[in-house]
Amino acid sequence: MRVMLVTQAIAAEHVAILKMFDEVERVLPDFQSPAEVGRVARILEGVLLTHATLETNLAFVPLDHALQQQERLTVFYHDHEEVDAELRQVEQATSCEEARRRLRAAIGAAREHFRREEEQLFPILERTLPESALAALGDAFERTATGRLQAGR
């Protein structure tokens, strides 16, 4: 059985979410109303909320004890709040173009957050936690993700 570190598990989920963003951006010009764009924003909001909860519980919380990292962790927590706020603003748009612009902004903020995590947070995790802890957190991530898939059937 292959062991997956939590950083690898999160990165794999990032890849799947980024592909979803690509598809949303591909069809976004086809939407004819702010309500249509808002429905897609709600779907992305649900996916990102679940992902953010897993990240927080299995990556951010284990680093909370490392006080020297608190400033950086605050940025990652703030990123989650910013993306959520952008997605909620999509539904307040009064025109389709405004809704599209806001959704593109939310997707852009999420892409930047993923990049920052992979470049900054993952190395901190890998330096701070022993490989056995990273593997245990990766296992927990996979079990939780598998549970989500099975619950959705």
Q: Is residue 123 part of a domain?
A: yes
Assign 21 a pLDDT band (cuts: 50, 70, 90).
very high
Q: Is residue 143 part of a domain?
A: yes
* pLDDT value of residue 74: 76
Q: Is residue 87 part of a domain?
A: yes
Q: Is residue 69 part of a domain?
A: yes
Q: Is residue 11 part of a domain?
A: yes
Write down how long the chain is. 153
* pLDDT value of residue 67: 43
Q: Is residue 66 part of a domain?
A: yes
Assign 69 a pLDDT band (cuts: 50, 70, 90).
low
* pLDDT value of residue 145: 75
Q: CA 94, CA 102: separation in Å to the nearest integer?
A: 11
Count of CB atoms within 10 A of residue 138's CB? 21
Segments forming the whole domain that contains residue 61:
6-151
* pLDDT value of residue 75: 76
Q: CA 108, CA 110: separation in Å to the nearest integer?
A: 5
Q: What is the pTM of this model?
A: 0.87
Structural domain tally of the chain? 1
User: Which CATH number does the domain housing residue 30 bear?
Assistant: 1.20.120.520
Q: Average pLDDT for residues 139-144, to the nearest whole number?
A: 88
Q: CA 138, CA 153: separation in Å to the nearest integer?
A: 23
Q: Is residue 67 part of a domain?
A: yes
Q: Which residues contact 8 (CB under 8 A, 6 or more apart)?
A: 138
Q: CA 58, CA 76: separation in Å to the nearest integer?
A: 13
19-28, 69-78, 110-119, 127-136: segment of lowest average pLDDT = 69-78
Q: Is residue 1 part of a domain?
A: no
pLDDT tens-digit series, residues 108-120: 999 999 999 999 8
